[in-house]
């Protein structure tokens, strides 16, 4: 084994000579180097570089290595250890031109250490914590020989029926754009060519979060203004931050699939935004152009995709099969292929692979003795970041924090669910390394433990749903199902609850319920779990709900029934410890919702920054012809930006430094924030702006800045925000990005609804 790998390394080093020999181009000059290499490539070698394959059990390794050595594969994904990837790189070094492979993976919220799901990370509003999670993920992934991730996923999601809401950073353009930048910088470090960096490929370009009805893979139909204003900025932010790659969305946009969309891929991405990196299709998307009904057959699909500028085809063979014929017949030009090849080679260059194909694979003798060793995890950081990402929704009568001396009964199907704790897209995370809530609470209590655990309910009693969830996992059914009847389990839980001082119920979704393809029509906690909650409430004991879920759930009844609600999302490897820290007050919760929680599915969309309307809802006489659903209360259950603490905060003395702003000037908006409670704690001061009158309808308010502030009990601080003309710009009907003179309202609050307001005039 060792011998083989040393041989690999020798080949790797020898390979430099091929590139060093290219006289006209030094390896220090990217463009010249890539052009020179391309001059030496045959058509087949070029097309081989455009092929990105998934490594799965169905692909015999030997065959793959043969294909690589023949120059027929440019990169792989889903192969994630050094010993797995080294022989493939060795094979590439045996190919005629020794062009290195790259190795990709979905490193979305951690690699070996799993951090909270992206929606949870966004709930921290803590750019430092989010950045740390990305940096650690990159280091772990790079140490496992990975060169590139398909992340960050920055699709704005305003319809929580969409299962992939869990994978994004919420509903708000400004917040998601800030996070997009932080994540790209975190993955790529100072440069994507560093040994401990991986390249970021932002996804899913574009508008995937706006699929109609929240049904995955559905169409998107959207006005250009809405795209530019609300949905495109996060992708742009990632690209401006230097993301080396883009993954193209599976959906269509205004009638044209993204994968064949010349406007999207050429006019917008490359010409308008100046993107020069790698564009990768999503899984099988080129082939799906036939299903979309824009390509007659594989040949036409390949033609549309290469013309649009899809550089690499993920897991279909159409480029290999069809591009030579298309070129011969003149339906595509050599430049179409060359452009794609240039981007692939350019990305490999930027990953540092031409200088050292084994940059992240390293030497065999340095391979970790046990790839899965616990010592490779970053547990302390995962725990810290997880507890920052939880949102306290309700805390009546200071039910929380719990006393460690209390008699506690822990119930619910998610109390002991290591796989769910990790959330979906858990990369290389191992369920047996994740800390459940039961583990976490038991450890926190130590000798004092008066903790009883009873399951109380399954995730669902609906056989169809259970079958769906278990079908999702190819290895083993992942949703554990207790065969006892729902009533027997509830009775057992109630009996235990009657003996306790307080009940903690871990309820919500299994991770597969908030995943790719897992759209829902109903956002309630599954019915059998709701029955459990009702029965627990009836005991009269204080009831704490620990929610685990990947999207906002409609918890209208539970809001009434529970004394306290902690939204923990899916909080990763250290989730159980982090939740216990919050439950017992070892950490004071500070998260804020990055997405609105609706009262019902019928209300969706409920995002906070909707456009002004002619007849806004005005409470008063019934039937007063204002905008509402007459059969329910108007407004969300919990607004965007909302989240409580074990202490309380007040805002006062809001002031603007001027009532006018000229185009080159600045206004200072200040406010005093005070910790008025008895504990130290953090909160997020949020700044919203409303453009009162414009040439187009403008939103009621838009988040424009925020600061997370730590205050000791009784402490106060004056917070300052700077407002400039740039903060007031928007895309008008002609898609011109400009600010318009007139009145602006500035609102400062601790959530998007409860704000104080002052105004100024842009001259
Ligand atoms: C399909 C998903 O849509 C995409 O997000 C992911 O990166 C690829 N599969 C690869 O796993």
| 467 CA from centroid of ligand 1 (Å) | 22
653 is catalytic: no
Q: pLDDT value at position 13?
A: 41
Residue nearest to atom 3 of ligand 1 (CA): 282
Question: Cα–Cα distance between 433 and 574 in angstroms, integer?
Answer: 9
Residue nearest to atom 7 of ligand 1 (CA): 150
Specify which residues 104 forms β-bridges with.
77, 148
pLDDT tens-digit profile of 554-598? 999 999 999 999 999 999 999 999 999 999 999 999 999 999 999
Q: Which atom of ligand 1 is nearest to the CA of 204?
A: 5
| 283 CA from centroid of ligand 1 (Å) | 6
Q: pLDDT value at position 18?
A: 55
| 282 CA from centroid of ligand 1 (Å) | 6
Question: Cα–Cα distance between 179 and 39 in angstroms, integer?
Answer: 40
- Binding site membership of 167 for ligand 1 (Cβ less than 6 Å): no
The tokens of 387 are what? 């507890």
| 204 CA from centroid of ligand 1 (Å) | 9
- Binding site membership of 282 for ligand 1 (Cβ less than 6 Å): yes
Is the pLDDT assigned to residue 7 strictly greater than 50? Answer: no
| 516 CA from centroid of ligand 1 (Å) | 9
Q: What is the mean pLDDT of the chain?
A: 95
Question: Cα–Cα distance between 419 and 471 in angstroms, integer?
Answer: 15
Residue nearest to atom 11 of ligand 1 (CA): 106
Q: Which of 282, 311, 367, 751 is catalytic?
A: 282
Q: Please choose from 278, 283, 284 the residue to mutate so as to test ligand 1's pocket, defined by most ligand atoms within 8 A of CB.
A: 283
The string of DSSP codes covering 139-192 is: HHHHHTT--EE---B------TTSGGGGGS--S-HHHHHHHHHHHHHHHHTT-T
Q: What is the mean pLDDT of residues 542-563?
A: 98
The tokens of 632 are what? 């329910």
Residue nearest to atom 4 of ligand 1 (CA): 282
Q: pLDDT value at position 168?
A: 98
- Binding site membership of 78 for ligand 1 (Cβ less than 6 Å): no
Handedness of CA 30, 35, 37, 38 (dihedral sign): positive
- CB 724 within 8 Å of CB 666: yes
| 428 CA from centroid of ligand 1 (Å) | 15
The superfamily (CATH) of domain 379-603 is Glycoside hydrolase family 3 C-terminal domain (3.40.50.1700)
Q: What is the mean pLDDT of residues 534-543?
A: 98
- Binding site membership of 16 for ligand 1 (Cβ less than 6 Å): no
Q: Which atom of ligand 1 is nearest to the CA of 150?
A: 7
Q: Which atom of ligand 1 is nearest to the CA of 250?
A: 3
pLDDT tens-digit profile of 238-263? 999 999 999 999 999 999 999 999 99
Distances (CA, A) of 611 to 217, 688, 692, 701: 26, 14, 11, 9
Q: Please choose from 106, 166, 199 the residue to mutate so as to test ligand 1's pocket, defined by most ligand atoms within 8 A of CB.
A: 106
Q: What is the mean pLDDT of residues 263-273?
A: 98
Q: Which atom of ligand 1 is nearest to the CA of 151?
A: 7
pLDDT tens-digit profile of 377-410? 999 999 999 999 999 999 999 999 999 999 999 9
Q: pLDDT value at position 26?
A: 82
**If 0-12 CB within 10 Å is exposed, 13-18 middle and 19+ buried, where does residue 680 land?**
middle
Q: Which atom of ligand 1 is nearest to the CA of 153?
A: 5
| 336 CA from centroid of ligand 1 (Å) | 25
SS3 of residue 364 by DSSP: helix
Question: Cα–Cα distance between 217 and 285 in angstroms, integer?
Answer: 11
Q: pLDDT value at position 477?
A: 79
Q: Please choose from 117, 281, 288, 516 the residue to mutate so as to test ligand 1's pocket, defined by most ligand atoms within 8 A of CB.
A: 516
- Binding site membership of 567 for ligand 1 (Cβ less than 6 Å): no
153 in the Ramachandran plot: left (φ > 0), alpha (ψ -120 to 50) or beta? beta
Q: pLDDT value at position 1?
A: 31
Question: Cα–Cα distance between 547 and 672 in angstroms, integer?
Answer: 33
398 in the Ramachandran plot: left (φ > 0), alpha (ψ -120 to 50) or beta? left
Angle, in degrees to the nearest 10, between helices 334-350 and 298-308: 60
Confidence tier at 57 by pLDDT (50, 70, 90)? confident
- Binding site membership of 283 for ligand 1 (Cβ less than 6 Å): yes
Q: Which atom of ligand 1 is nearest to the CA of 167?
A: 5
pLDDT tens-digit profile of 166-190? 999 999 999 999 999 999 999 999 9
| 379 CA from centroid of ligand 1 (Å) | 27
Which residues, other chains included, contact 235 with Cβ-Cβ below 8 Å and sequence gap of 6+? 154, 180, 202, 205, 206, 246
- Binding site membership of 216 for ligand 1 (Cβ less than 6 Å): no
Question: Cα–Cα distance between 417 and 508 in angstroms, integer?
Answer: 12
CATH code of 649-762, in short, is: 2.60.40.10
Question: Cα–Cα distance between 208 and 163 in angstroms, integer?
Answer: 12
Q: What is the mean pLDDT of residues 141-157?
A: 98
| 422 CA from centroid of ligand 1 (Å) | 18
SS3 content of the chain, % helix, strand, coil (to 5): 35, 20, 45
**In the sheet that 313-314 helps form, which strands lie side by side, from edge to edge?**
278-280, 245-248, 199-205, 148-149, 102-105, 75-77, 51-54, 313-314
| 176 CA from centroid of ligand 1 (Å) | 20
pLDDT tens-digit profile of 292-335? 999 999 999 999 999 999 999 999 899 999 999 999 999 999 99
Q: What is the mean pLDDT of residues 110-133?
A: 98
Q: pLDDT value at position 622?
A: 81
Question: Cα–Cα distance between 627 and 613 in angstroms, integer?
Answer: 8
Q: What is the mean pLDDT of residues 632-657?
A: 98
Is the pLDDT assigned to residue 20 strictly greater than 80? Answer: no
Is the pLDDT assigned to residue 164 strictly greater than 70? Answer: yes
Residue nearest to atom 1 of ligand 1 (CA): 283
- CB 178 within 8 Å of CB 127: yes
| 275 CA from centroid of ligand 1 (Å) | 21
Is the pLDDT assigned to residue 17 strictly greater than 70? Answer: no
- Binding site membership of 516 for ligand 1 (Cβ less than 6 Å): yes
Q: What is the mean pLDDT of residues 494-499?
A: 98
Q: pLDDT value at position 3?
A: 33
Q: Which atom of ligand 1 is nearest to the CA of 247?
A: 7
Where in the chain are the domains?
1-40, 44-99, 379-603, 649-762
pLDDT tens-digit profile of 596-621? 999 999 999 999 999 999 999 998 88
- Binding site membership of 106 for ligand 1 (Cβ less than 6 Å): yes
pLDDT tens-digit profile of 401-442? 999 999 999 999 999 999 999 999 999 999 999 999 999 999
pLDDT tens-digit profile of 348-363? 999 999 999 999 999 9
Is the pLDDT assigned to residue 2 strictly greater than 60? Answer: no
Confidence tier at 19 by pLDDT (50, 70, 90)? low
pLDDT tens-digit profile of 661-714? 999 999 999 999 999 999 999 999 999 999 999 999 999 999 999 999 999 999
């Amino acid at each position: 084994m060792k011998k083989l790998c040393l041989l690999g390394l020798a080949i790797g080093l020898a390979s430099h000579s091929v590139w060093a020999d290219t006289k006209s181009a030094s390896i220090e000059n990217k463009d010249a180097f890539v052009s020179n290499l391309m001059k030496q490539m045959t058509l087949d070698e070029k097309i081989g570089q455009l092929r990105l394959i998934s490594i799965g059990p169905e692909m015999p390794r030997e065959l793959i290595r043969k294909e690589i050595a023949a120059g027929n594969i440019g990169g792989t994904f889903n192969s994630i250890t050094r010993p797995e990837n080294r022989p493939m790189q060795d094979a590439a070094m045996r190919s005629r031109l020794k062009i290195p492979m790259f190795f990709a993976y979905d490193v979305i919220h951690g690699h070996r250490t799993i951090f909270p799901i992206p929606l949870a990370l966004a709930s921290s509003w803590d750019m430092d914590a989010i950045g740390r999670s990305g940096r650690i993920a990159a280091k772990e992934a790079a140490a496992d020989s990975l060169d590139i991730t398909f992340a960050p996923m920055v699709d704005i999601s305003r319809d929580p029926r969409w299962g992939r809401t869990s994978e994004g950073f919420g509903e708000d353009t400004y917040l998601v754009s800030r996070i997009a930048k932080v994540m790209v910088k975190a993955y790529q470090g100072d440069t994507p060519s560093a040994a401990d960096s991986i390249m970021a490929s932002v996804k899913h370009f574009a508008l995937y979060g706006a699929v109609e009805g929240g049904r995955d893979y559905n169409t998107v139909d959207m006005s250009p203004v809405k795209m530019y204003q609300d949905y495109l900025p996060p992708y742009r932010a990632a690209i401006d931050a230097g993301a080396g790659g883009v993954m193209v969305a599976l959906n269509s946009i205004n009638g044209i699939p993204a994968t064949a969309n010349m406007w999207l891929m050429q006019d917008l991405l490359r010409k308008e935004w100046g993107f020069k990196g790698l564009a990768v299709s999503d899984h099988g998307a080129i082939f799906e152009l036939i299903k979309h009904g824009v390509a007659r057959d594989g040949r036409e699909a390949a033609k549309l995709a290469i013309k649009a500028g899809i550089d690499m085809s993920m897991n279909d063979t159409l480029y290999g099969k069809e591009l030579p014929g298309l070129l011969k017949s003149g339906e595509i030009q050599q430049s179409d292929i060359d452009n794609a090849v240039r981007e692939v080679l350019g990305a490999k260059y930027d990953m540092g692979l031409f200088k050292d194909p084994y940059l992240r694979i390293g030497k065999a003798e340095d391979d970790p003795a046990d790839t899965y060793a616990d010592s490779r995890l970053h547990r302390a950081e995962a725990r810290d970041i997880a507890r920052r990402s939880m949102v306290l929704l309700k805390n009546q009568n200071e039910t929380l924090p719990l006393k460690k001396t209390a008699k506690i009964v822990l119930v619910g199907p998610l109390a002991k669910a290591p796989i769910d704790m990790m959330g979906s897209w858990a990369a290389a995370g191992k369920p047996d390394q994740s800390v459940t809530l039961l583990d976490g609470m038991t450890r926190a209590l130590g000798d004092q433990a008066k903790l009883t655990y009873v399951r109380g309910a399954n995730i669902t009693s609906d056989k169809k749903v259970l079958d769906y969830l278990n079908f999702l996992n190819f290895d083993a059914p992942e949703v554990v199902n207790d065969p006892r009847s729902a009533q027997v389990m509830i009775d057992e839980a109630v009996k235990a609850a009657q003996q306790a001082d307080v009940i903690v119920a871990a309820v919500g979704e299994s991770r597969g319920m908030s995943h790719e393809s897992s759209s829902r029509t109903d956002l309630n906690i599954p019915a059998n779990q709701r029955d459990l909650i009702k029965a627990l409430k009836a005991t009269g004991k204080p009831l704490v709900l620990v929610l685990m879920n990947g999207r906002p759930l409609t918890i209208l009844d539970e809001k009434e029934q529970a004394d306290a609600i902690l939204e923990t999302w899916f909080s990763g490897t250290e989730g159980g410890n982090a939740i216990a820290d919050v439950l017992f007050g070892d950490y004071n919760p500070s998260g804020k919702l990055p997405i609105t929680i609706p009262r019902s599915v019928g209300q969706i969309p409920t995002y906070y920054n909707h456009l002004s309307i002619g007849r806004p809802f005005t409470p008063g006489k019934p039937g007063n012809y204002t905008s509402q659903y007459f059969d329910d209360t108007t407004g969300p259950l919990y607004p965007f930006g909302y989240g409580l603490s074990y202490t309380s905060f007040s805002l006062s003395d809001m002031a603007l430094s001027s009532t006018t702003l000229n185009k080159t000037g600045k206004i200072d908006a200040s406010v005093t924030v005070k910790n008025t409670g008895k504990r130290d704690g953090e909160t997020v001061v949020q700044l919203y702006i409303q453009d009162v009158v414009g040439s187009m309808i403008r939103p009621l308010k838009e988040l424009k800045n925020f600061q997370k502030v730590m205050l000791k009990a009784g402490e106060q601080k004056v917070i300052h925000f700077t407002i400039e003309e740039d903060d007031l710009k928007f895309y008008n009907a002609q898609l011109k990005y400009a600010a318009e003179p007139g009145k602006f309202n500035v609102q400062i609050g601790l959530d998007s609804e409860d704000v104080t307001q002052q105004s100024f005039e842009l001259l």
